[in-house]
Amino acid sequence: MTTDKQTLLRVEDLVKHFPIYRGVIRRKVGAVRAVDGVSFEIKQGETLGLVGESGCGKTTTGRTILRLYEPTSGHVYFKGQDLAHLKPEEMRKARKDIQIIFQDPYASLNPRMTVREIIGEPMLAFGIASGKEIDDRVAELLDLVSLDHNYASRYPHEFSGGQRQRIGVARALAMNPSFIVCDEPISALDVSIQAQIVNLLEDLQKELNLTYLFIAHDLSMVRHISDRVAVMYLGIIVEIANRKDVYVNPLHPYTQALLSSIPVADPKFYEEHQRIILEGDVPSPANPPSGCRFRTRCPIADEHCAEVQPVLREITSGHFVACLKVTPIDDQKEVIN
């Protein structure tokens, strides 16, 4: 574990609700509770994997941390500042240090800009370099992500998906950030290219001492890249622990079902293992179930689960679970939330 390292980012009770308006006067009639009270920490140099199914709020969490969405409430402490309450100009400055890599390398690069303009834009925007300096830095960054620096004058359409994602990585690195939100950076790529990008991210992390929040739905890739893993369901974290605890000893019934549904590239596995198949779909985040949000699909839920909303409790050291059916071995240690 990385307990000796410093905490770089601490998210406290982060909430992001998207209002729903109806009628002629656009009256607010409800809210999509995309992120509904999320707390976690990321240590310097660590990778926290954030997994969950579509609509669980993982991407919204990443974007709200960067204030690409304004948080409804909560705190995001980063290097001693609360990002959630910074003034716009202060936030702009803070963004030098926190960057994001997006999922779709086709949509996240401006098709009318050359690679040099795309990667150089953050430097221009912050006024830290100009002219020749930018050219040199762009060439250096392209080398860093293993692209030929002669490509600087080309446009995004001349590149393949994997190469575009490398350009996205180079842009994120341009300001020497210490923290990068990787929002499903490999989901849109082919299998043989995914491994290339994951290796690149790992090499860069070692070389530049980067800290990652790695958001993904591919559980096997998250297992590969993460030090710790948080599992989200309907806007809340249901389990968070170091990688090994989550994958070897998952305690929340949702994590167990999620892990059980990963397709395994080994036909023998299917002869020896019985999979847990959940029934039904994820309920709407505009109207989540009472009590435990997972109870409508949970194989072990009872009436009690409909009444009480479970909070994250530390079950074993560093292993937090939000489930009424999972109790700590020693007395109740209420932590976080």
Partner 1 sequence: MANQLLNVRGLETQFNTPEGIVHAVNGVSFTLDEGESLGVVGESGCGKSVTMLSCLKLVPIPPGKIVAGNAFFKGEDMLTMDSDEIRKVRGAQISMIFQDPMTSLNPVMSIGNQMAEPLMLHMGITKEQARKRSIELLEMVGIPQAADRLKDYPHQYSGGMRQRVMIAMALSCMPQILIADEPTTALDVTIQAQIVDLVKRLREELGMAIIWITHDLGVVASIANRVSVMYGGFIIEESPVKDLYAEPLHPYTIGLLNSLPKINREERQRLYSINGMPPMLFKKPKACPFAPRCEFVKDHCWQENPVLESYGRGGHRVACWVDVTTGRER
Taking CB under 8 A as the rule, does residue 191 contact partner 1?
yes
Site string for partner 1, 71-100 (x = CB under 8 A): ------------------------------
Q: Which position among 73, 110, 160, 176 is part of the footprint of partner 1 (CB under 8 A)?
A: 160
- Is residue 264 a contact residue for partner 1 (CB under 8 A)? yes
- Residue 267: half-sphere exposure toward Cβ, Cα within 13 Å: 0
CB 220, min distance to partner 1, A: 5
Q: In angstroms, rounded to a whole number, what is the distance separating the alpha carbons of residues 336 and 48?
A: 17
Stretch 273-292 residues interacting with partner 1 (CB under 8 A): 275, 277-279, 281-282
Nearest-approach distance from CB 34 to partner 1, in angstroms: 16
269 binds partner 1 (CB under 8 A): yes
Cα–Cα nearest to 253, from 221, 287, 301:
301
User: Applying CB under 8 A, does 231 fall inside the site for partner 1?
Assistant: no
* Main-chain phi, psi angles of 179, to 5 degrees: -130, 130
Q: In whole angstroms, what is the distance from residue 286 CA to residue 33 CA?
A: 6
The reply to whether 224 sits near partner 1 by the rule CB under 8 A is yes
Find the shortest distance in angstroms from Cβ 241 to partner 1. 16
Q: What three-state secondary structure class fits 213?
A: strand
DSSP reduced 3-state for 23: coil
For partner 1, the closer of residues 72 and 163 by Cβ is: 163
Name the one range near partner 1 by CB under 8 A: 80-88, 167-175, 265-273, 324-332.
265-273
Does 333 contact partner 1 by CB under 8 A? no
**Is residue 262 near partner 1 by the rule CB under 8 A?**
yes
As a whole number of angstroms, the distance between CA 166 and CA 269 comes to 35
209 is a site residue for partner 1 (CB under 8 A): no
CB count within 10 Å of CB 312 equals 23
Least distance in angstroms from the C-beta of 233 to partner 1: 10
Query: Of 129 and 195, which CB lies nearer to partner 1 in the complex structure?
Result: 195
* Lookup result for tokens 């090499």: 203
Tokens of 194: 């995914």
Residue 258 engages partner 1 in binding (rule: CB under 8 A):
yes
What's the CA gap between 184 and 229, in Å, rounded? 15
Q: Are 324 and 308 spatial neighbours (Cβ–Cβ below 8 Å)?
A: yes
The correct pick among 25, 263, 329, 330 for binding partner 1 (CB under 8 A) is 263
Q: At what angle do helices 115-125 and 132-144 cross, to 10 degrees?
A: 120
List the strands of the sheet with 98-101, edge to edge.
Answer: 98-101, 179-183, 211-216, 47-51, 228-233, 236-242, 319-321, 313-316
* Helix, strand or coil, per DSSP, at residue 196: helix
Q: Is 332 in the site for partner 1 (CB under 8 A)?
A: no
For partner 1, which is the closer residue by CB, 92 or 275?
275
Number of residues that bind partner 1 (CB under 8 A): 42
Binding positions for partner 1, rule: CB under 8 A? 53-54, 160, 162-163, 190-196, 198-199, 202, 217, 219-221, 223-224, 244, 247, 257-258, 260-270, 275, 277-279, 281-282
